[in-house]
Amino acid sequence: WLGMAGKRGALIVLEGVDRAGKTTQCSKLVQALQQSGRPAEMMRFPDRTTTIGQLIGAYLENKSDLEDHTVHLLFSANRWEMVPLMKKKLEQGITLVVDRYAFSGVAFTSAKPGFRLDWCMQPDVGLPKPDLVMFLQLNPAEAALRGQFGQERYETSVFQRTVQQRFEQLMKDQTVNWQVHSTLTGVGESSIKLDLHCSEMRLE
C-alpha cells in the first residue's frame, strides 16, 4: 500500500460496463483491506435505499419512465446526498470501496443520443475525488460466457458497447488515477498506488 500516508481513508472506485464483476471485486477488495488491518467499507451507486434511490430503482427496473436529463441529475443527486457520510468515514480513517461513481454517470448518460460529455460531467463537479479508479475490463469471450443480460434498462449489448467507448474516452483524463484490470485476473491489491492530495472532482 504505497503512498497511503496519514490516517485518512482512501476513496477507491470500481468502474466498468454491466456484468463486469465489479460487485464481487469490491467485496474481495474490502476483505483484503480488512485482513491487512485497514478499516474498509463498501458503498455502491446508485444507492437504491434512499428516496432518490427508489426513483432510480423504479426507472432501472422499467417500472417508471423518467426524462433522460432528469434521471441523470437524480443519479448525481444520489451521490451528493451521500457526501457528508463519505467525508465523515474517510476522515475517520475508513477506506471506502465504491461500486460505481460519477464515471458511470457520465458514461451511461452520454451513451444516449444528444448528450455531450461536458454537460454530463457538470453536476458531479465538486464530489470527493477518488484516489484510485479501477476499471474492470470485461473481454468479449468472458462476456459471452456470462450469458444474457437481465431485464434492467441499459442491459443490451448495443448500449453497453457505446458505454464502453465512453469509458475509454474518460480514461484519457490524466488527472484521474485510472487502473485497468481484466475480469479474468481481477483486482490485485499489490499494484495499488494512491495519491491522497487531490480532493475534488474537476472538469477538464
- Contact between 60 and ligand TMP by CB under 6 A: the answer reads yes
CA distance 175 to 179: 12
- Residues 162, 18: contact at Cβ < 8 Å? no
The residue among 100 and 181 lying less far from ligand TMP, judged by its C-beta, is 100
State which residue, 4 or 42, has the beta carbon closest to ligand TMP: 42
**Residue 46 contacts ligand TMP per CB under 6 A:** yes
Helix (H) or strand (E) holding 170: helix 157-170
Instruction: Residue 6: count other Cβ atoms within 10 Å of its Cβ.
Output: 7
Tell me if 183 contacts ligand TMP by CB under 6 A: no
Residues 6 or more apart from 142 whose CB is under 8 A from it? 183, 184
- Cα distances from 129 to residues 90, 98, 102, 124, 153, in angstroms, run 12, 12, 10, 10, 28
For residue 41, the cross-strand partners are 96
Which stretch, 104-112, 135-143, 176-184, 188-196, contacts ligand TMP (CB under 6 A)?
Answer: 104-112
**Minimum CB separation from ligand TMP for residue 35, in Å?**
25
Q: How many binding residues for ligand TMP (CB under 6 A)?
A: 10
By CB under 6 A, residue 154 contacts ligand TMP? yes
Angle between helices 157-170 and 102-109 (to 10 degrees): 120
**What letter represents residue 47's amino acid?**
D
Q: Does 160 bind ligand TMP (CB under 6 A)?
A: no
Is position 66 an interface residue for ligand TMP (rule: CB under 6 A)?
A: no
Stretch that binds ligand TMP, among 81-89, 101-109, 114-122, 137-145 (CB under 6 A): 101-109
- Using CB under 6 A as the binding rule, whether residue 18 contacts ligand TMP is answered as yes
Q: Which residues contact 47 (CB under 8 A, 6 or more apart)?
A: 53, 78, 82
Question: In the complex with ligand TMP, which residue's Cβ is closer, 21 or 105?
Answer: 105
* Residue 104 binds ligand TMP (CB under 6 A): yes
Residue nearer to ligand TMP on the CB measure, 140 or 150: 150
* Residues at the contact surface with ligand TMP, assessed by CB under 6 A: 18, 45-46, 60, 75, 100, 104-105, 108, 154
